[in-house]
Structure 1
Amino acid sequence: MTPETVMEIGVQTMEVTALLAAPLLLSALVVGLLIGMLQAATQINEMTLTFVPKLMVVALVLLFAGPALLETLLGFTIRLLEGIPELIG
């Protein structure tokens, strides 16, 4: 296993991680931004007000995007496991 192969696997791992995390993080970011603007407009400074909507939106995104995220993760894992003989020899 060459250093280039290790770096390539590392890069692919980071790409898959970003693909898996992006929908959840972006949805939480958008909801947090909208609630932050609402809080600024109404001058309500309650920290728990942002937590529950973010949690619900992340759960909904995970519910709807979960199968696609799982397929991405499984595809990467299968490619990695199938490539073990090539990496060893």
Structure 2
Amino acid sequence: MTPEVAIDLFREALWLTCVIVGVLVVPSLIVGLIVAVFQAATQINEQTLSFLPRLLAMLVTLIWAGPWLTRELMEYIQTLYQNIPYVIG
């Protein structure tokens, strides 16, 4: 295996990780920002108030994007397994 192939495999894995994390975290961040603005506007300083909406946003995101994320991960793993003979040789 040449260094270029190793770097390319690592780059693809890192990009897939960033996509998976981004798809899951961004909706939670947006909901957290909306709740924080609401708390600032109403002067409610309850820490637990922002937890439930973010948890629900994460659950809805997992239900909505879960099949796509799983398919992307499985395609990457299948491609990786299919390229094993080319990487070793």
TM-score (norm 2): 0.96
Inter-partner Cα distance in structure 1 for 2:34 and 2:80: 40
Q: Which residue of 2 aligns with 1:32?
A: 32
Inter-partner Cα distance in structure 1 for 2:53 and 2:88: 48
Q: Which residue of 2 aligns with 1:73?
A: 73
Is 1:3 aligned with 2:13? Answer: no
Is 1:60 aligned with 2:60? Answer: yes
| Counterpart code for 1:25 | V
Residue 18 (structure 1) shift: 1.2
Find the residue that maps to 2:44 and give its secondary structure: coil
| Counterpart code for 1:20 | I
Inter-partner Cα distance in structure 1 for 2:24 and 2:16: 14
Inter-partner Cα distance in structure 2 for 1:51 and 1:88: 47
Q: Which residue of 1 aligns with 2:23?
A: 23
Inter-partner Cα distance in structure 1 for 2:66 and 2:43: 36
Question: Which ranges of structure 1 fall in alignment gaps of 5 or more residues?
Answer: none
Find the residue that maps to 1:45 and give its secondary structure: coil
Q: Pairwise CA RMSD of aligned residues?
A: 0.7
Residue 22 (structure 1) shift: 1.3
Residue 82 (structure 1) shift: 0.6
Q: Which residue of 2 aligns with 1:45?
A: 45
Inter-partner Cα distance in structure 2 for 1:14 and 1:48: 33
TM-score (norm 1): 0.96
